[in-house]
Amino acid sequence: MLNRLISGDYPRSKVLAVILLAILVGLAVAPFLFPGVKPLSVAAKVLVFVVLVASFDLLLGYTGIVSFAHTMFFGIGAYGIAIATTRLGATWGALAVGVGGALLLSLLLSLAVGLFSLRVRAIFFAMITLAVAAAFQTLASQLSDFTGGEDGLTFKVPELLSPSFEPFEEPFLGVTIDGRLVCYYLLFVSAVVLVLSLLRIVNSPFGRVLQAIRENEFRAEAIGYRVVVYRTTSSVLSALYATLAGCMLALWLRYNGPDTSLSFEIMMDVLLIVVIGGMGTIYGSAIGAVLFLVAQSYLQDLLRLGHEAASSLPWLAALLSPDRWLLWLGVLFVLSVYYFPTGVVGRLRAAAAH
C-alpha cells in the first residue's frame, strides 16, 4: 500500500525519511501544536508552496525546462476562484466553476506557450515565458472590471470554510473549531493528494522519459521519443498543478490581487525553494518550502531578539537589526547552496549511499 502511494520512490535516507515524516505530522497537527493566527497562516502558505514548487520541479528538475511563466498559472488559479465567487456568490458551485474555468484557461495557455516556444533553444524559451508572464500581470492590473485592478478582489467563501462557522461551543484541545480550521485541513488533504499524484507521474514511464530528455535530448529523439510532445505535456501538467496551488491560496486568503499571486518575487521564491530542497526531487519541495517560509516569516522575530540581547555591543546590535532580515536570508541561502549544492534531499541521499 505504501509502495503504491509513494510510487516506489522511497526517501533512500533514514534522516530524510524522519524529516519528511516530521514535516507531514507537523503540518497535520500545526493548528493544535502552534495555536495562533500567524503560525496557522505560515503552515497554510507552506502547503500552498509545496504544491507550487513541486509542480515547478516537474518542469525544471525533471524535464530541464526553465520557465518564468509559472506564477502566471498560479495567478490564474487564484483569479479563477476570486472572479467566480465574486460574480456567482459564496457557493460550492461557484468554487467548482472557478477551479474548472482556471484549469481550462491554463490548459489552453500552457498548450499554446508549449507548442510555440518549446521548439526554440532554452534561453529563448525562458525569455518568451518571462514576456508572457509580464504581459499577463499587466493585463490583470488593467482589467479592473474583472480582476479588481491593482486593488484586487476580496470575496466570501462557503460558510463551512469561513471563520464565522463555529459548529462547537467548546474548544477542542484548546483550539476553537471553526471554518478557518476546516479550510486549513482542506488545503492539507489537497496538498498531500497532489504531491502523491506528482510522485506517481515522475516515477511512471512518462516521468523516466522526461528525465532522459533532460539528460540528453538528442539521444531521446534518436531512440524514437517525440521530445516536443513530452516536453509540451510536461509543461501542461506543471501549469495545471500550479493553477490548483493558486486556487488553494485564494481559498485561504479570501482575497487575490496582482501582487498576491502574479508578482515576480513569487517566481524568485519558487526558484530558491527548488534549489534549497533539491531539483529533480519532489520531496525537496516540502523541505525547501518549510525551511524558506519559516525563515522568511520568523527571521525578523529572531533578529529582534538578537538585537535586544546585543544592545551593549552597538556594532553587533546594528548587524542584527530586524531591518536587515533580507541580508541574513541571502546569507542563509548562499550557505545552503555552498553546503548543499544538490539541495538538502540530494545531499542526504548521497550521504546515505556512502
Residue 175, strand partner residues:
172
- pLDDT tens, position by position, 37-70: 888 999 999 999 999 999 999 998 888 888 888 9
Place of cell 518564468: 68
- Over pLDDT 70: what percentage of the chain? 94
Residue 202: Cβ-neighbour burial (10 angstroms; 0-12, 13-18, 19+):
buried
Is 220 strand, coil or helix?
helix
Range of the domain at 199: 2-353
Which of the residue ranges 155-164, 195-204, 231-240, 288-297 would you say has the lowest mean pLDDT?
A: 155-164
Q: Which residues contact 126 (CB under 8 A, 6 or more apart)?
A: 66, 67, 68
CB atoms within 10 A of CB 188: 19
Is 301 strand, coil or helix?
helix
For the entire predicted model, the pTM comes to 0.92
Question: How far is the CA of 211 from the CAs of 42, 143, 204, 220, 297, in angstroms?
Answer: 33, 40, 11, 10, 34
Confidence category of residue 90, pLDDT binned at 50, 70, 90: confident
Q: Which three cell numbers stand for residue 269?
A: 521564491
Query: How much is the pLDDT for 117?
Result: 65
Residue 238 belongs to a domain with what CATH number? 1.10.3470
Q: What is the CB-side half-sphere exposure of residue 322 using CA atoms within 13 A?
A: 10
How many structural domains comprise the chain?
A: 1
Mean local confidence (pLDDT), 167-191: 82
pLDDT at residue 1 tops 70:
no
Chain CA centroid to CA 246, Å:
9
Mean local confidence (pLDDT), 56-85: 91
Q: Which residues contact 353 (CB under 8 A, 6 or more apart)?
A: 12
Confidence category of residue 321, pLDDT binned at 50, 70, 90: confident
Query: How much is the pLDDT for 5?
Result: 59
For the residues of 227-261, what is the DSSP string, one character each? HHHHHHHHHHHHHHHHHHHHHHHHHHHSEE-HHHH
Is 176 strand, coil or helix?
coil
pLDDT at residue 320 tops 90:
no
- pLDDT tens, position by position, 95-141: 999 999 999 999 999 998 877 766 666 677 888 888 888 888 899 88
Question: How far is the CA of 175 from the CAs of 34, 40, 319, in angstroms?
Answer: 10, 12, 38
Mean local confidence (pLDDT), 160-166: 80
pLDDT at residue 240 tops 80:
yes
- pLDDT tens, position by position, 14-23: 888 899 999 9
